[in-house]
Structures are given as structure tokens and as C-alpha cells.
């Protein structure tokens, strides 16, 4: 058995592994436990775990963790979920079907996702991320709400990160219109951040789609400071999951800019509302425009660009 620690100097024979996988059924609970165990290794990160799988194509988490350890971690994760009152949830494992191929465009692709709700929304052919600052202006909230209204009218699924501010406005506007929405969160399914969005998170989990890539056990053993690393990585996943990211408002140090960088690297469209450029305190809009982001004054600008992308693909 190849352990996590040995992976830097040794690789599984890909032909043998492919042969094993053709005979081996994928057991979600075992893969869940193995993923949790990988994350509990010293210095584990999205980068180190992604590199492990890149060195071993076609592998699944249980190829690196023995069965008893995987079951032990799965039991711990299930206990955490039980304490949170979560009885129904699912996992999606890379290589096991129903895993969105476009997530492989991320710099450090995720091997396993947790979710609550309707997974079919993740396969929707047209989804757009609407994101921005946690401390928006009243005009920013209005712009986000109007933007969502137009996107929903054209059949887009609204994706955001369930943070305060613009994210909350985007999800809330979609729900008010009776339209689907997807939240990609930076905490495990068992946690809510911010706390004031607990009811919104429950609504999305029950009636829409809530996605997390955050391991329960590792998260439970760290302080808030250690767990902050999960938030920017969820932005990377959010941009990979969608065909475009629209930035409504964002400050110079906003986590939203992490998503903009990731989206451009993943060859996704990045739209920045004109109001951001007209704010003299901001330097990032012009910088990202030089890198390929598109300045938009109204929804029709976005619609035209997305139509061109759809026709070109």
C-alpha cells in the first residue's frame, strides 16, 4: 500500500491501478473516510493532495489509506455531521461519475466534494458566479439584485459563496424569484459562516445545492486562524464550476480577487461592473482588465459576451 508520506518519492503503476479500479467498486463512505484521513496528515493542503493525485492518475482516496483507517475517519466525520443535525448529504468523487469535469481546470483540483440538496444543479449547462465584498454599498446590493434578476430571466443558475454582503444578496434574489442557486462554502457542511446566514444555508441545502470541499475532522481540530485557508480555495472551485464570474463590488484586499485570478487562469470569463472602475480608491479593476477581465456597464454587455462564448464552444 502506498501511503501519503511515500507519495513524493514513489508512484503507483498507472496500468496496474487502472486495472484495479476496473474491478473495485467505489464506496462513498470509504472514500469520504480516506479523504478525511489524507487531510489529517502533517502539512496536508490542497496543493499536496492535488500533487499526490497528479502523480497517481486514476487513483481515488482509498488507494492511499488502509480500510480500517478510512472507516475510523468516516465514523468521526459522521459523528460531526450527526451533532450538526445533518442526516442527508452526498459525496462526489473524481473518477466515480457525476463529478463535474470542469473542476479539473482548477490549479489544485479537488478529488472529493460534499453536498446537500439537488446535485443535478451542478450539471446545469449555464451557471454564473455573482460575487463581491462582504461590506457592500446599498447601490451594490441593488446592482447585484438587478443582475440576478436578468440572469435568471435568461435561464442561468446563480452561484455564490454564502458570505455576507453581495453573496447573500445574490442567493436571496435568486430564491425570491423562485430560481435555483448554488452555494459553495468555505466551511464543512456541519458549520455555518456567517452565523446570521444559518437559515439561508438551510434553505439552500434543502431546496437548492450546497457544496463544500472542507474536511470535517481537520476543520474540527483547528482554530479559526488555521481554517481560513479553506475560504480562498472555495473561490477557486466556484470559478471552475461556472462559465463566468461577475464582480459587483470588491475592495483592494477582497477574497473576491482570488476568484478573479483563478477564473482567468481557468480561461473563464470575468466581468467587472463599471461602478468598480469609477471608484478612485480602487486599482484592481484596471489591473484585472489588463489581464483579460471585461468591463461591463449593463447586463446586455454580459449577455453578449456569454453568447459569443457559447457560440465559440
Residue at grid coordinates 503507483: 12
Rounded CA-CA distance 266/242 in Å is 10
Residue 186's pLDDT is 97
Rounded CA-CA distance 175/178 in Å is 5
Mean pLDDT of 243-265: 96
CA dihedral 167, 170, 172, 176 (to 10 degrees): -170
pLDDT digits (tens, 9 = 90+) for 193-222: 999 999 999 999 999 999 999 999 999 999
pLDDT tops 60 at residue 5: no
At residue 307 the predicted structure's pLDDT band, cuts being 50, 70 and 90, is: confident
Residue 25's pLDDT is 75
Tell me if residue 269 falls in helix, strand or coil.
strand
User: Given CA atoms 16, 18, 19, 23 in this order, what sign does their dihedral have?
Assistant: positive
pLDDT digits (tens, 9 = 90+) for 6-30: 233 334 455 544 544 444 678 999 9
pLDDT tops 70 at residue 3: no
Residue ranges of domains in the chain, CATH in brackets: 5-117 (no CATH), 124-312 (3.40.50.450)
Q: What separation, in Å, do the N-terminal and C-terminal C-alpha atoms of the chain show?
A: 42
88: which 3 cell numbers? 442527508
Q: Please choose, from the candidates 46, 37, 50, the residue with its C-alpha nearest in 3D space to the C-alpha of residue 3.
A: 37
Region at 97 (left for phi over 0; alpha for psi -120 to 50; beta for the rest): left
Residue at grid coordinates 474540527: 220
pLDDT digits (tens, 9 = 90+) for 255-300: 899 999 999 999 999 999 999 999 999 999 999 999 999 999 999 9
For residue 234, the number of C-alpha atoms closer than 13 Å in the C-beta half-sphere is 28
Cβ atoms of 24 and 68 within 8 Å: the answer is no
Instruction: Quote the crossing angle between the two packed helices 256-265 and 230-241, to the nearest 10°.
Output: 40
Rounded CA-CA distance 288/275 in Å is 15
Which residues 6+ apart lie within 8 Å of 24 measured at CB? none
22: which 3 cell numbers? 476496473
- Could you count the other beta carbons within 10 Å of the beta carbon of residue 261? 18
Cβ atoms of 5 and 72 within 8 Å: the answer is no
pTM: 0.91
Tell me if residue 209 falls in helix, strand or coil.
strand
pLDDT tops 50 at residue 308: yes
Amino acid at each position: 500500500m502506498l501511503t501519503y508520506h511515500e507519495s513524493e518519492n514513489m508512484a503507483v503503476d498507472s496500468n496496474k491501478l487502472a486495472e484495479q479500479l476496473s474491478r473495485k467498486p467505489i464506496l462513498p463512505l470509504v472514500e469520504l473516510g480516506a479523504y478525511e484521513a489524507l487531510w489529517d496528515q502533517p502539512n496536508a493542503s490542497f496543493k499536496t493532495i492535488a500533487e499526490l493525485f497528479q502523480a497517481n492518475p486514476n487513483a481515488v482516496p482509498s488507494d492511499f489509506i488502509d480500510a480500517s483507517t478510512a472507516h475510523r475517519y468516516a465514523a468521526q466525520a459522521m459523528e460531526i455531521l450527526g451533532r450538526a443535525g445533518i442526516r442527508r448529504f452526498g459525496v462526489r468523487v473524481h473518477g466515480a461519475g457525476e463529478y463535474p469535469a470542469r473542476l479539473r481546470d482548477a490549479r489544485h483540483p479537488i478529488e472529493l466534494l460534499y453536498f446537500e440538496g439537488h446535485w443535478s444543479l451542478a450539471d446545469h449547462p449555464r451557471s454564473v458566479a455573482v460575487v463581491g465584498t462582504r461590506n457592500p454599498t446599498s447601490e451594490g446590493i441593488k446592482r447585484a439584485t438587478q443582475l440576478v434578476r436578468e440572469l435568471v430571466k435568461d435561464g442561468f443558475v446563480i452561484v455564490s459563496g454564502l458570505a455576507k454582503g453581495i453573496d447573500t444578496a445574490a442567493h436571496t434574489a435568486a430564491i425570491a424569484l423562485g430560481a435555483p442557486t448554488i452555494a459553495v462554502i468555505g466551511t464543512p457542511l456541519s458549520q455555518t459562516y456567517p452565523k446570521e446566514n444559518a437559515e439561508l444555508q438551510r434553505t439552500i441545502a434543502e431546496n437548492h445545492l450546497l457544496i463544500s470541499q472542507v474536511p470535517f475532522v481537520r476543520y474540527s481540530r483547528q482554530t479559526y486562524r488555521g481554517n481560513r485557508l479553506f475560504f480562498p480555495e472555495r473561490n477557486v472551485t466556484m470559478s471552475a464550476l461556472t462559465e463566468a464570474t461577475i464582480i459587483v463590488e470588491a475592495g483592494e484586499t477582497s477574497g473576491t480577487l482570488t476568484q478573479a485570478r483563478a477564473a482567468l487562469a481557468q480561461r473563464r470569463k470575468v466581468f467587472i461592473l463599471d461602478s468598480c472602475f469609477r471608484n478612485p480608491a480602487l486599482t484592481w479593476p484596471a489591473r484585472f482588465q489588463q489581464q483579460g477581465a471585461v468591463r461591463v456597464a449593463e447586463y446586455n454587455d454580459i449577455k453578449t459576451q456569454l453568447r459569443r462564448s457559447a457560440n465559440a464552444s
